[in-house]
Structure 1
Amino acid sequence: MIVLLPVFRPSFRLVELLTGLGSGMPVVIVDDGSGTAAASIFDSARGHGATVLSHPVNRGKGAALKTGIAHIADAWPGRGVVCADADGQHSVEDIRRVAQHAEVTGRITLGARRFGSGTPLRSRFGNLLTAALFQAVSGTKIRDTQTGLRAFPATLLQWLLTVPGDGFDYEMQMLLAALEQGHPIDEVDIATTYIDGNSSSHFGALSDSARVYRPLLRSITRR
């Protein structure tokens, strides 16, 4: 599988992740309009063998994922994709386990976090609420609907490019569309890692939450 990392204003943890991955899995990074301040980090990423694609302006996580998926489908036909966050939340071991599960099963595979006492209250409450709403709308229980660690078999890459959404809403839209169209979804337990209270996240509590919940509300109104 090809590792896909959508990034915006990355830290040194991106290079640490590339070092851990080594040369065993090709890596595609999509710089979603980070600007010149991050140029040295991306230069270092290229030095580690990663392919770096760039958006001139910030377009959103969904747009970055689609740019990377389209490139991978063209450059590595027949290879699946494992998408991960580049801020240290996902370990190399978990990325590989989720990728391997998708390769073996041919199913969409989510890295499902366990939200224990060490999880920041905002993150724990938000994830539990979203999971409950998702189950109410779809009739399917998915423990971690907001995980950024997701693997997809090669057969679904073109389909992923048709799913609407350019921001954080894209990941929710994908789950709903997968269930509607009969694409099975598996979950694999992964470690829950929050660094400095998840301060590196670019998820806007109000604006991005509204985007995530909008597809769920639309699904309710269509019933």
Structure 2
Amino acid sequence: MHEENRSMIVLLPVYQPSHHLPTLMTELRRVAPRCRFVIVDDGSSPAAAEVLRQAENLGGTVLRHPRNQGKGVALKTGLRYAAQQHPGHDVVCADADGQHSVTDIVRVADRVAQTGHTVLGVRRFAENVPLRSKVGNTVTQVLFRAATGRGVQDTQTGLRAYPSALLEWLGTVPGERFEYEMNVLLEAARAGHRIEQVVITTTYLDDNASSHFSPLSDSARIYWPLLRYAAAALLTPARATR
């Protein structure tokens, strides 16, 4: 890991976190002793208290929402905290459920430091990926390219690195739940921000059973802004393809 990334901010939005959270923190701290953890607990039940206490004992800052407000709100809470308390530091957002390896988190962190651009850790949608994820990603890839003229291999990846210069801007992007991450990509395309992509290996535990993604309501939230953006693009023939 590059020296400049050893003081990176790792943002972990959680809801009903398991033992994977302190395990990930411990493994990351081994390779990056100076990294700082910001955990946003999005209204977990009292059953999560022990895991969150372990996270605090490992040096993590735990920010708490009194009720569940959605992943987008949790991410913005953490990004706002990082911008205010750790100005000038890049932020790596990761899932704390065991899907993202320390190696991949480090690779994404290194790329944002090298380029100064937003970096996505994009999954290989191979045989071990749940069918719903594979189909959903194929559809969103096609729609995203049609809407923006850009190719993004994995629009719903939870492993993303953001340069410090964009942290305040990220707080202005609309979205409260899973649609926030799609809105970030759409608004980045609109604003002309560069997006880098790093291929990662993702582990799906029990067919992604720990996910709090609702196939119906959250899919609707994701596709609505994408379809709206695509419709606006079709009504503007002069839009330049980037």
TM-score (norm 1): 0.98
- Checking the alignment, whether the CA contact within 8 Å between 2:69 and 2:177 is kept in structure 1 is yes
Partner of 2:218: 208
Partner of 2:157: 147
Q: Deviations over 1:99-157 (max 9, x none)?
A: 11001100000001001011111111111111111111111110000000000110000
Partner of 2:237: none
Tell me the distance in 2 between the aligned counterparts of 1:2 and 1:72.
Answer: 7
Partner of 2:3: none
Partner of 1:10: 17
Tell me the distance in 2 between the aligned counterparts of 1:24 and 1:2.
Answer: 9
Offset, 1:221: 2.6
Runs of 4+ residues over 4 Å off in structure 1: none
Q: Deviations over 1:186-223 (max 9, x none)?
A: 10011021011000000000000000101111112323
Output the aligned Cα RMSD.
0.8
Partner of 1:79: 89
Partner of 1:51: 61
Aligned residues: 223
- Checking the alignment, whether the CA contact within 8 Å between 2:143 and 2:227 is kept in structure 1 is no
Tell me the distance in 1 between the aligned counterparts of 2:148 and 2:231.
Answer: 12
- Checking the alignment, whether the CA contact within 8 Å between 2:148 and 2:230 is kept in structure 1 is no
Structure 1: where are the runs of 5+ without partners?
A: none
Per the alignment, in what secondary structure is the counterpart of residue 179 of structure 1? helix
Partner of 2:232: 222
- Checking the alignment, whether the CA contact within 8 Å between 1:30 and 1:67 is kept in structure 2 is yes
Tell me the distance in 2 between the aligned counterparts of 1:156 and 1:69.
Answer: 10
Per the alignment, in what secondary structure is the counterpart of residue 16 of structure 2? coil
> Which one-letter code corresponds to 1:171 in the other structure?
E
- Checking the alignment, whether the CA contact within 8 Å between 1:115 and 1:192 is kept in structure 2 is no
Partner of 2:184: 174
> Which one-letter code corresponds to 1:56 in the other structure?
P
Alignment of 1:1-223 (within 5 A): 1-22=8-29, 23-223=33-233
Q: Give the fraction of aligned pairs with identical amino acids, expressed as a percent.
A: 57
Q: Deviations over 1:26-72 (max 9, x none)?
A: 11000000021100000000011110000000000000000000101
